[in-house]
């Protein structure tokens, strides 16, 4: 009867050591200040990429293209293209499998001039099996306003492959999506007179009141003037000083290298599908008691063969034998976490007690429901 008492005392002593280490680490922990450049925290309004999209045909496929009977848009596009080239195929039965209809997408970088080349991504629309070895024909790429800003053409390079035989098939990657490096030529420029601007606006990538205030303060301190002001958590407005009139590029290159301490609200991001937990540095836990236990039932079958004695009038039979073991973690007790302990220290303590990611997610959600977790939990 003394063995269970020894086990309980040992477990309680382990919990005490873990919580003691948590309290010590929380007492001596010093928050680290990470300074980031303004160019990594915000972008200049108007200096942005623009998305382009187009519809085209990929030819030259080795029998892995669209089935024309199943993809009528491919057949119509092929017929229209041939007619523009002087070939009349109206009323004929086209049976080629070397053509695939695709969507072509690209990002137009800011300040792109005519003749600049950009990369394009080619994605199959129909039932094509692979775009390997194909060539994209001239494809106009349209912007959100319906105007043509680039034209794409070139050989498609894919990273996946597909092979099959009579009774087996193997596919690696995605062979129906490819990329053409420098596959589009910019034909129209987007007008944006940065040099003539009298004011600029910085858009924060992670909106926050404190971060916007810190950015404005750093800019004003550098310029020695009250030129920057946060208008909302995501925007900082800058009035161009007189000594930078006509030289905004110099102002931006100097401002974007200023270092600021960004702030953010306490947040925990949880992906329940993969068991991933991402914890912000400002998360804190109030005084709370935690107990966690699982009911585990193990059933094992060890059948035994029973044979009759020699010269006996009997038969051989299999006698079932079942062993059931129930573990309800009765030895675990409540663990008290003191106020002010960081969530990192709490997680370290739970890991020391052998609690896995799945149970840890449930514990964090339970602590949040109890009002003892000063953070937002976002479940992906």
Q: What value does the mean pLDDT take over residues 318-329?
A: 64
Domain boundary among 186, 214, 237: 186
- Least trusted range by pLDDT, from 115-124, 139-148, 192-201: 192-201
Q: Is the pLDDT of residue 378 over 70?
A: yes
pLDDT exceeds cutoff 60 at 18: no
Based on the domain organization, do 274 and 231 belong to the same domain? no
pLDDT for 170: 74
Last residue of a domain, one of 156, 186, 216: 186
Residue 252 is part of a domain; what is its CATH number?
3.30.1360
The predicted pLDDT at position 5 comes to 41
Output 376 or 55, whichever has higher pLDDT.
55
For the segment 193-252, what is each residue's pLDDT rounded down to a tens digit?
787 788 889 999 989 999 999 999 999 999 998 999 999 999 999 998 888 887 888 899
Nearest partner of 199 among 146, 236, 233, judged by Cα: 236
Partners of 179 in the β-ladder: 121, 157
Residues 260-280 pLDDT 10s: 988 888 888 888 777 777 777
Higher pLDDT, 190 or 30: 190
Q: What pLDDT does residue 19 have? A: 44
Same domain, 83 and 179: yes
Whether residue 105 is predicted with pLDDT greater than 90 in this model: the reply is yes
| DSSP character string of 189-248 | PPP--STT-SEEEEEESS--HHHHHHHHHHHHHHHTSS-EEEEETTEEEEEPPGGGTT-H
d(CA 157, CA 133): 7
Q: Are residues 67 and 161 in the same domain?
A: yes
Crossing angle (nearest 10°) for helices 343-352 and 2-28 = 160
Q: Verify that 292 and 352 share a domain, yes or no.
A: yes
**Boundaries of domain holding 94:** 50-186
**Same-domain status, 178 and 54:** yes
Q: Roughly how many angstroms between the first and final C-alpha of the chain, as a whole number?
A: 48
Same domain, 254 and 271: no
Q: Which residue has the higher pLDDT, 77 or 364?
A: 77
- What does the pLDDT average to over 332-338? 56
């Amino acid at each position: 009867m003394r063995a269970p008492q020894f086990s309980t005392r040992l477990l309680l002593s382990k919990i005490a050591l873990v919580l003691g280490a948590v309290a010590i680490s929380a007492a001596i922990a010093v928050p680290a200040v990470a300074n980031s450049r303004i160019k990594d925290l915000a972008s200049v309004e108007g200096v942005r990429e623009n998305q382009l999209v187009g519809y085209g045909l990929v030819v030259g496929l080795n029998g892995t293209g669209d089935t024309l009977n199943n993809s009528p848009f491919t057949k119509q596009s092929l017929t229209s293209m041939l007619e523009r080239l002087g070939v009349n195929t109206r009323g004929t039965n086209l049976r080629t499998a070397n053509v695939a209809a695709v969507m072509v997408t690209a990002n137009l970088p800011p300040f792109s001039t005519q003749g600049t080349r950009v990369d394009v991504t080619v994605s199959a629309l129909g039932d094509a099996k692979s775009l390997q070895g194909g060539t994209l024909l001239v494809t106009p790429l349209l912007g959100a306003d319906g105007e043509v800003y680039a034209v794409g053409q070139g050989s498609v390079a894919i990273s996946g492959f597909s092979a099959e035989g009579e009774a087996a098939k193997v596919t690696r990657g995605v062979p129906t999506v490819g990329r053409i490096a420098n596959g589009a030529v910019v034909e129209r420029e987007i007008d944006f007179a940065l040099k003539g601007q009298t004011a600029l606006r910085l858009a924060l990538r992670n909106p926050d009141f404190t971060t916007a205030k810190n950015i404005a303060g750093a800019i004003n301190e550098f310029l020695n003037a009250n030129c920057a002001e946060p208008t909302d958590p995501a925007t900082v407005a800058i009035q161009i000083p007189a000594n930078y009139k006509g030289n905004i590029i110099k102002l931006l290159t100097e401002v974007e290298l200023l270092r600021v301490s960004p702030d953010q609200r306490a947040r925990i991001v949880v992906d329940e599908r993969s068991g991933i937990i991402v914890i912000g540095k400002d998360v804190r836990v109030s005084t709370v008691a935690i107990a966690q236990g699982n009911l585990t039932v193990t059933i094992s079958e060890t059948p035994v063969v029973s044979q009759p004695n020699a010269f006996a009038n009997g038969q051989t039979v299999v006698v079932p034998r079942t062993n059931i073991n129930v573990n309800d973690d009765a030895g675990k007790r409540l663990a008290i976490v003191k106020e002010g302990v960081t969530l990192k220290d709490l997680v370290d303590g739970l890991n020391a007690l052998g609690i896995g990611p799945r149970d840890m997610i449930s514990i964090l959600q339970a602590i949040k429901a109890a009002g003892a977790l000063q953070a937002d939990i976002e479940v992906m």
